[in-house]
Amino acid sequence: MTRLNIETIWLAGFMFLVLLGLSLLNSAIPGEQSLNMSLNLENQSVFAAQPVNLTLTVNQPDTTNWTGSADCNITVDQQVISLNATKNQSNNVTLPVLSEGRHWIQARCTDAFSRNGSTGMLQFTVDTSAPHISVIGPENTTVINSSIAFSFSVSDNASEESGCRLFLDSLQAANITAKNGSITKINKTLA
């Protein structure tokens, strides 16, 4: 009997679909069922501190009395981290220090019965530095009568957009989204 596994591989910005044919000698082998797996990034897609911690849970089908563990590989940006994951428990994993920016992660495990399981490819971002803000106007010595035009630019190495708030006399005057590297303008009338 042959079982086909379909996997996707992310390489140099392109996703490839790979079909793998696995030959099974006996259809009664418990390995025909796959492992149920989940990779928990703590409901975050952006991490502002390192190291990044995550939880891997591997659940075997209930058809066996197996109480062991599974050999797992967690792949982060093509770097493999191996671990032995205990069945039906949260297995904590600390990733190595990663560069700022987007990263891809996937977990694959095999148990004692050669049952395989994998999570889908997950994307997350490491962003440990604050955006840089450049005030363009008004100049520091500008005298304002009733209307003021603010202009600024924001640059951030891990985000295309930044949420920005403008405060006048300690009160929030505006809440906007600024595009990375673009000049943003806000006009305000003073009371």
Q: What is the pLDDT of residues 65-119, one digit of tens each?
A: 445 667 888 888 888 888 777 776 777 777 888 888 888 888 888 877 777 777 8
Q: What is the pLDDT of residues 170-181, one digit of tens each?
A: 888 889 999 988
The pTM assigned to this predicted structure is 0.54
Q: How many CA atoms lie within 13 A of 161 on its CB side?
A: 4
SS3 of 96, please?
coil
Residue 1 inside a domain? The answer is no
8 Å CB contact between 50 and 129 = no
Average pLDDT (134-154) is 86
Range from 39-48, 61-70, 144-153 carrying the lowest mean pLDDT: 61-70
Distances (CA, A) of 41 to 62, 76, 92, 104, 133: 26, 13, 11, 12, 30
Residue 126 to residue 46: CA distance in whole angstroms: 6
8 Å CB contact between 35 and 70 = yes
Residue 22 inside a domain? The answer is no
Q: Among 80, 109, 126, give the residue marking a domain's end.
A: 126
- Same structural domain for residues 121 and 172? no
Residue 36 makes CB contacts below 8 A (sequence gap 6+) with 58, 59, 60, 61, 117
State yes or no: pLDDT of 23 exceeds 50. no
Measured at the CA of 148, the angle between CA 146 and CA 151, to 5 degrees, comes to 175
State yes or no: pLDDT of 11 exceeds 50. no
Q: Which domain holds residue 62?
A: 33-126
Q: Among 126, 141, 167, give the residue marking a domain's end.
A: 126
- Same structural domain for residues 48 and 113? yes
- Same structural domain for residues 138 and 66? no
- Same structural domain for residues 122 and 136? no
- Same structural domain for residues 109 and 156? no
- Chain centre distance of CA 76: 10
Residue 121 is part of a domain; what is its CATH number? 2.60.40.2550
- Same structural domain for residues 114 and 37? yes
Q: What is the pLDDT of residues 43-60, one digit of tens each?
A: 556 666 666 666 666 665
- Same structural domain for residues 173 and 120? no
